[in-house]
Amino acid sequence: MRRPRLLITRPLPEPVHARAAALFDLTIRKETGPTTAADLSAALRDHDAILPSLGDVFSPDVFAGAPAPRCRILANFGVGVSHIDLAAAAGAGVAVTNTPGAVTGPTADIAMLLLLMTARRAGEGERLVRSGTWQGWHPVQLLGQDVSGSTVGIVGMGRIGQEVARRAAAGFGMRVLFHNRSPKAVPGVETEQVPLDELLQRADFVVLTVPGGSETRHLIDARALTLMRPHTHLINVSRGEVVDEAALIRALEGRQIAGAALDVYEFEPAVPAALRERDDVVLLPHLGSATRAAREGMGMTALDNLEAFFLGRVPENKVA
């Protein structure tokens, strides 16, 4: 039987390539950057399946560029699929899957890393030592904020939010408030579900773990930022567009909040100079799931989804 043609849009860990090569007539794009719209339309025309990732934007125009495509499935590498227009995919008869389980723990770890870094001014401290200008310890140098015993407010209680809750409660004795559209409980963790405005008013650390896309765009806008207190820190490991970045910059400049720790950006990979130049922000280059095991797990999950699809089953992680 003819093996389906698969395009992997960026190099992945070698074991993923090896398994994909055994299952599919495989093409691996060599470049690490996003694929252009024209190349994505061509890929939809020429392949039975595509394994895309963050930044490969499947807009309605991309689907329009490939009427009645040969491609039947986009097996996304990653949990977030806001770069894929799901309605346009459905209209073109293209299924979409993602890789939720593999990213959960590492992304929750990055949320805690950012929370600790912004609370304890770790980025500032590291820059001071690296600059060679550190004059030595003194009693009121780089004083930060206690994490243990403080209150975390988690916005979005999906898989990643729940893992942040576990780490915050069990590791740091934090009180856990959360906001979620539907009622949720986190087994084994004492939590309080509250409206978003109340969470913003009460939390010392606000952690964003909602999916991206049009429904959560600018969930944290100028108004939301005014509800937060001057000692509160904002941590974002979800998608950049969840925060109105211009409003965030104004809130930091006006000392409305104490700091921000970001793994994602509204116009990624562009990061405004107004953020880069500030000492009260921690900036990471979208490292959420960047561990060897997670990236291999994400690739293997995407292949599980593809294998199930071409065996005529419903893939476990079908999102559309």
Least gap, CB of 256 to ligand 8YV (angstroms): 27
181 burial type by CB count under 10 A (0-12 exposed, 13-18 middle, 19+ buried): exposed
CA distance 149 to 173: 5
- Shortest approach of ligand 8YV to residue 294 CB, angstroms? 7
| Structural contact between residues 204 and 231, judged by C-beta atoms closer than 8 angstroms | yes
Please state whether beta strands 151-155 and 25-28 pair in parallel, antiparallel, or not at all (unpaired).
unpaired
d(CA 178, CA 119): 19
Expressed in angstroms, the distance from the first to the final Cα of the chain is 27
Shortest Å distance, C-beta 103 to ligand 8YV: 4
Contacting ligand 8YV within 175-234 (CB under 6 A): none
CB of 289 to ligand 8YV, least distance (A): 3
Q: Is 300 in the site for ligand 8YV (CB under 6 A)?
A: no
CB 209 within 8 A of CB 111: yes
Q: Does 54 bind ligand 8YV (CB under 6 A)?
A: yes
With contacts defined by CB under 6 A, name the span among 77-85, 138-146, 165-173, 302-310 that binds ligand 8YV: 77-85
Nearer to ligand 8YV, 99 or 150 (CB): 99
289 belongs to the binding site for ligand 8YV (CB under 6 A): yes
Q: Which is nearer to ligand 8YV, 204 or 241 (CB)?
A: 241
Among 4, 34, 80, 105, binds ligand 8YV (CB under 6 A): 80
Contact with ligand 8YV (CB under 6 A) among 24, 77, 172, 205: 77
Point out which span in 32-40, 78-86, 198-206, 274-282 binds ligand 8YV (CB under 6 A). Answer: 78-86
* Segment interacting with ligand 8YV (CB under 6 A) among 19-27, 72-80, 138-146, 175-183: 72-80
**3-state percent breakdown (helix, strand, coil) of the chain, nearest 5:** 40, 15, 45
**By CB under 6 A, is residue 317 in contact with ligand 8YV?**
no
The label of the residue with tokens 């087994």 reads: 187
Q: Does 259 bind ligand 8YV (CB under 6 A)?
A: no
Is residue 79 a contact point for ligand 8YV (CB under 6 A)?
A: yes
Strands (E), the chain: 5-8, 25-28, 49-51, 73-75, 95-97, 151-155, 175-179, 191-193, 205-208, 233-236, 259-262, 281-283
Active site residues: 239, 268, 286
297 binds ligand 8YV (CB under 6 A): no
Beta strands across the sheet bearing 49-51: 25-28, 5-8, 49-51, 73-75, 95-97
CB atoms within 10 A of CB 33: 11
* Contacting range for ligand 8YV; rule: CB under 6 A; set: 43-51, 73-81, 115-123, 190-198: 73-81
Phi/psi for 296 (5° steps) reads -70, -40
Enumerate binding residues for ligand 8YV (CB under 6 A): 53-54, 77-80, 103, 107, 288-289
